[in-house]
Amino acid sequence: MTALRLGTRGSALALAQSRGIADALRAATGREVELVEVVTAGDRSSAPVHRLGVGVFVSALRDALAANEIDFAVHSYKDLPTAGQAGLHIAAVPPREDPRDALVAQGGRTLAELPPEATVGTGALRRIAQVHALGLQLTVVPIRGNVDSRVKRVLGPEADLDAVVLARAGLVRLGRADVITETLDPMLMLPAPAQGALAVECRADDSDLIELLSVLDHAPTRAAITAERSFLATLEAGCSAPVAGYAELAEGDDGDEIYLRGAVISPDGSRDIRLSRTGTPAEASEIGKALAAELLDLGADSILGTPTESGARTQHFGATE
């Protein structure tokens, strides 16, 4: 039986994620899997993350799927556009890694221990906005690069930043959890929708592979991600917008319950709207839509900007973006 071709980006983190999925699928089914590296537009660009546009890290993988150059692909779920892709299917959402953000700081400091005007690097507009909203008088520096290159800007011999904020999941998957000086409480830094989650995608007409990949699916994670992504889609915001959303499953009086928190924060941190909503896992999509509608009623659209022709909203920044 021929090996399944798993498409992946070539970054260290993408390869670590894909190898983990390949190992899990081999263990569960006995099928061999070979990794096929695909270069995306996002990998070739040095532009700030929020300027790149939605789906820049996944379009080449999806093209390779459609062209039958690979059998399935592994994406960081938060990189996926909220609209589905015709002809493709998310066959599995594996168990989620810790979705919280993490601080890597010189001297082992926590966020509260950083002195005023300390430089904090991050590439996500959501994180930039929330750092500003904390009112700690920190200087936020937009950065790009892989996990190792960002960490080196704090801990390397040529360090030029006091701290960086990264997804904890990426550091853990790369075996770099030891550099984390603080895992940030969601009350301080609410994660991005789908942060820490992976999407395993294949062609929608490949029913045998869909069934095979389903062994990797984790229903609680899928329900949480469905709520978060529905929230994001209803706001018509992309993965780079200053939107945060985090759903947790907990045992309620009548069975499992989803607790979804959502926030929209202005890039300078001067305005934010935060709400939460609960419901059952079966209502995951509706919970997300309802929470987004509540935020829009409270003026979230004035923070997000106006929708573009593609549906994603565009922020209008000043010259000091």
Instruction: Confirm if 161 and 119 have CB atoms less than 8 A apart.
Output: yes
Half-sphere exposure of 200 (CA within 13 A, CB side): 29
Residue in the structure block whose two tokens are 């532009």: 47
Burial tier of 139 (Cβ tally within 10 Å: 0-12, 13-18, 19+): middle
Q: Is 301 helix (H, G, I), strand (E, B) or coil?
A: helix
The single residue of 79, 162, 206, 272 carrying the catalytic annotation is 79
Torsion, Cα 43 46 48 49, to 10 degrees, reads 0
Tell me the three state secondary structure of residue 241.
coil
- In one-letter notation, the amino acid at residue 32 is E
Task: Please say if 79 is a catalytic residue.
Answer: yes
Both tokens of 46, joined, read: 């040095």
User: What is the C-alpha separation between 138 and 116, in angstroms, rounded?
Assistant: 6
What distances in angstroms separate CA 97 from CA 9, 24, 127, 149, one per listed residue? 19, 15, 19, 22
The DSSP call for residue 115 is: P
Q: Which residues share a beta bridge with 182?
A: 103
Ramachandran region of residue 123, left (φ > 0), alpha (ψ -120 to 50) or beta?
alpha
Distance CA 242, CA 180 (A): 24
Instruction: Please state the three-class secondary structure of 156-185 as a single string.
Output: CCCCCCCEEEEEHHHHHHCCCHHHCCEECC
- The catalytic site residues sit at 79
